[in-house]
Structure 1
Amino acid sequence: MTTIEPGLIRRWVDGWTVARSLPEAEPVEPVGDGLRSECDQPGREVEVFALRADEEPESLARLAAAVAAAQQTTWLAVPTLRPDTAEAIVGAAGLELLNRSEWFMTTDLTDHPQHGPAAPYEREVRTEGPVTVVSLHAPSGELAARGFIAVVGGDAIADRIQTDAAHRRRGLGRAMMSALAEAAVSQGARTGLLIASEEGQRLYSSLGWHHKADVLIAKGPTVPSIR
């Protein structure tokens, strides 16, 4: 059975935590079914990433049960090539399915197409350590689009690629991804990794990114904050 490699998921999580300035994710004990990240966001205090959902469905069942019983509001991300099976497992644990249509995608950044921003938008590139932020501004100075990319070894993890609704359908997404790829390659990255929303999948596919797996997002019960 074809599965997504756990090592590839680990590499994405490593870069995602760097891109968001989060602590390094830790293995879910006792058998390492997944990785656990402290997100510290309202309604998303912790996120758990399944590593072996397809090759060991019982590992996903253990993770889902742990998320359902967590003392903090916890999300579960499941990269999978068997989304129907994964959905049934997380549903049986009582988790709420938030999204089943995101994609885990990869690309060779050295072959990434290059597209500059259409006039009159201006590009700002700012790099601090391993993280580069690209911003595209309208003539008024208004922020039209922004994206982040974190370089970890030979990988670059793109994150939070957003275009303001008033500035869509003007090629800004392509310009954004081009600038992020260029910055990452200049820092030694060769492989691009990202998780794409349903809205972003067409853009990334048109730029040569490849679908590796679907990603299901589920959530455990909301745990009231104690003040």
Structure 2
Amino acid sequence: MTRIAPELIRRWLTGWTVARSLPGAEPAGSAGDGLRSECRQPGREVEVFALRADEDPGSVTRLAAAVAAARQVTWLTVPTLRPGAVESAVDAAGLELHRRSEWLMTTDLTGHPRHAPAAPYGIEARTEGPVTEVTLRGPTGEVAARGTVAVVGADATVDRVETDPEHRRRGLGRAVMGALAEAALAQGARTGLLLASEEGQRLYSSLGWHHRADVLIARGPA
């Protein structure tokens, strides 16, 4: 059966927690079903990440039941190549399907395109330890676009890439991604990983990123 490797999910999650300065994820469920992260956000106190959705569909059922019984608002994030089966499992557990169209994507950073922002935008990068934040500012100093990358070993996890609505369709997202890739390469990374929103998938695909799995996100209890 075609499936996404649990190790790839672990690698992405490790970088994601570093990028957001969160504690390392801990085991969730039985038999390596998933990992649990303390997100510390209102309405997203805890997030559980499924590791074996495709090789063991029962693992999603077990994790969904645990999320439904949680005392804190908990998200369940499931990378999968069988989104229909996952959707049925979370629905049966009474969870709310929050997002159904995100993608886990990867790329070889050594060939990542670079794009300089057009005037009047200026770009700045600030690195603290393994994390680099890239910011593009407009003519009056306002933040027009930004993004973050965390380097762990040879992996670079890109996170929170966003462009202000007033500055979209000017190539700023491409400029941010190019600067993040350059910073990650300078720190020894070779493989890029990210979780792409539906809105970002076209941008990342155009830059050479590859779809590795669909990602469904449910939450509960209500």
Q: CA deviation at 1:29?
A: 4.0
Q: 3-state DSSP class of the match of 1:162?
A: strand
Which amino acid in structure 1 is aligned with residue 110 of structure 2? T
Paired residues for 1:71-220 under 5 Å? 71-220=71-220
Which amino acid in structure 1 is aligned with residue 11 of structure 2? R
Q: CA deviation at 1:56?
A: 0.2
Q: CA deviation at 1:139?
A: 1.1
In structure 2, the partner of 1:10 is 10
Structure 2: 5+ residue runs without aligned partners? none
Q: Is 1:66 aligned to residue 66 of structure 2?
A: yes
Cα separation, 1, equivalents of 2:213 and 2:10:
14
Deviation string 1:140-181 (CA, Å, 9 cap, x unpaired) is: 001000100000000000000010000000000000000000
Cα separation, 2, equivalents of 1:48 and 1:190:
27
CA contact (8 A) 2:34 2:52 kept: yes
TM-score of the superposition, structure 2-length normalised?
A: 0.99
Cα separation, 2, equivalents of 1:57 and 1:144:
42
CA contact (8 A) 2:29 2:62 kept: no
Which amino acid in structure 2 is aligned with residue 38 of structure 1? E
Which amino acid in structure 1 is aligned with residue 186 of structure 2? S
Q: 3-state DSSP class of the match of 2:156?
A: strand
Please list every run of at least 4 consecutive aligned residues from structure 1 whose deviation after the TM superposition is greater than 4 angstroms. none
Cα separation, 1, equivalents of 2:94 and 2:60:
13
Paired residues for 1:41-60 under 5 Å? 41-60=41-60
What is the Cα-based RMSD across aligned positions, in Å? 0.6
Cα separation, 2, equivalents of 1:56 and 1:29:
13
Instruction: Count residues in correspondence.
Output: 222
Q: 3-state DSSP class of the match of 2:218?
A: strand
Deviates more, 1:126-135 or 1:23-32: 23-32
Structure 1: 5+ residue runs without aligned partners? 223-227
Q: CA deviation at 1:119?
A: 1.0
Q: CA deviation at 1:114?
A: 0.8
Cα separation, 2, equivalents of 1:30 and 1:96:
23
